[in-house]
Chains A and B, each alone.
Chain A
Amino acid sequence: MVKVSNTATLSSTTEGDLFLVPENYVAFLKRLTITNNSTTLATVTFKAYNGSASKIILVVNVDTNKTEKFREDELPAEGIPTKLTAITTSAPVVISFTYDLV
Chain B
Amino acid sequence: MGEYFFFYKEFNPRFKPREFIQIRGKFYEIKECRPMLPWTLKLTNITSNTVLDDLKNQGLKARNNEILDMRLRIDGPVKVLFRIEGAGGDVFGGWGALERHADDTVPDNLLENLIMGDSIGWLWVNIVPLVVPAWCRLRAEGYVYVVEEATVKPQTYATPAYIASAYTASMR
Q: Shortest CB–CB separation between residue A26 and chain B, in angstroms?
A: 6
Contacts of A82 in B (CB 8 A): 44-45, 135
A23 CA to B47 CA, complexed, in Å = 20
Contacts of B41 in A (CB 8 A): 24
A79 CA to B75 CA, complexed, in Å = 9
Q: Assess whether B42 is in contact with A50, with CB atoms less than 8 Å apart.
A: no
Nearest A residue to B76, CB-CB? A79
A81 CA to B44 CA, complexed, in Å = 7
Q: Assess whether B133 is in contact with A50, with CB atoms less than 8 Å apart.
A: yes
Q: Known contacts A50-B133, A81-B135: does B45 contact A26 (CB below 8 Å)?
A: no
How many residues does chain B have at the interface if contact means C-beta atoms less than 8 Å apart?
Answer: 13
Helix, strand, loop or mixed for chain B's interface?
strand
Contacts of A52 in B (CB 8 A): 45
Nearest B residue to A51, CB-CB? B45
B31 lies within 8 A of chain A by Cβ: no
CB-defined interface of A49-62 with B at 8 Å, one 1/0 digit per residue?
01111000000000
How many residues does chain A have at the interface if contact means C-beta atoms less than 8 Å apart?
Answer: 13
Q: Assess whether A26 is in contact with B135, with CB atoms less than 8 Å apart.
A: yes
Q: Assess whether A24 is in contact with B137, with CB atoms less than 8 Å apart.
A: yes
A29 CA to B44 CA, complexed, in Å = 18
Nearest B residue to A24, CB-CB? B40
A82 CA to B75 CA, complexed, in Å = 14
132-147 of chain B: CB within 8 A of chain A = 133-135, 137
> Could you pull out 19 A-B pairs where Cβ atoms are within 8 angstroms?
A23-B42, A24-B41, A24-B137, A25-B42, A26-B75, A26-B76, A26-B135, A26-B137, A50-B44, A50-B135, A51-B44, A52-B45, A53-B133, A79-B135, A81-B42, A81-B135, A81-B137, A82-B135, A102-B75
Given contacts A26-B75, A50-B135, A53-B133, 14 further A-B contacts (CB under 8 A): A23-B42, A24-B41, A24-B137, A25-B42, A26-B42, A26-B137, A50-B45, A51-B133, A53-B45, A78-B77, A81-B135, A81-B137, A82-B45, A102-B75
